[in-house]
Amino acid sequence: MATPTYTTAAIVKARFEDFDTSMSDSKIQDIIIDQESVIDAVMMMKARGTKPAFTFSAAKHGLIRDTATALAAFWVLTAQPTGESGNITSARASLMGDFFWAISRRNLKLLGDTRISSYLKGL
């Protein structure tokens, strides 16, 4: 199994307050890897895998980490919308989903701008 580069299962889980999930870290990592591919496609370059265009650094590339985390959190929430024990309401889950999706859309739009992706590459 490949290892995520831009974020981790622990960081994704930390995005949730009062949300418990039975989803394993390896399943969350699979989701992260899928979302990292989306980010790479939007940027039209990658900072992971073979022949990366640049070396990812969490300290320098917070926008990339934030995007990967928000996208993965959105899909984790979609898979288990009220948590393992149903400890959050559907309304709150919906609000959280809207929040993660809004962050993702904003960040993907920024990463799709070649000026921004070139700047990130140059850091």
Residue 12 pLDDT > 80: yes
CB–CB of 115/43 below 8 Å?
A: no
Q: Express each pLDDT in 95-111 by its tens digit.
A: 999 999 999 999 999 99
**Percent of the chain beyond pLDDT 70?**
98
**1-22: average pLDDT:** 86
pLDDT at residue number 57: 96
Q: Express each pLDDT in 30-82 by its tens digit.
A: 999 999 999 999 999 999 998 999 999 999 999 999 999 999 999 999 888 77
pTM: 0.92
**14-30: average pLDDT:** 86
Report d(CA 65, CA 45) in Å as an integer.
Answer: 15
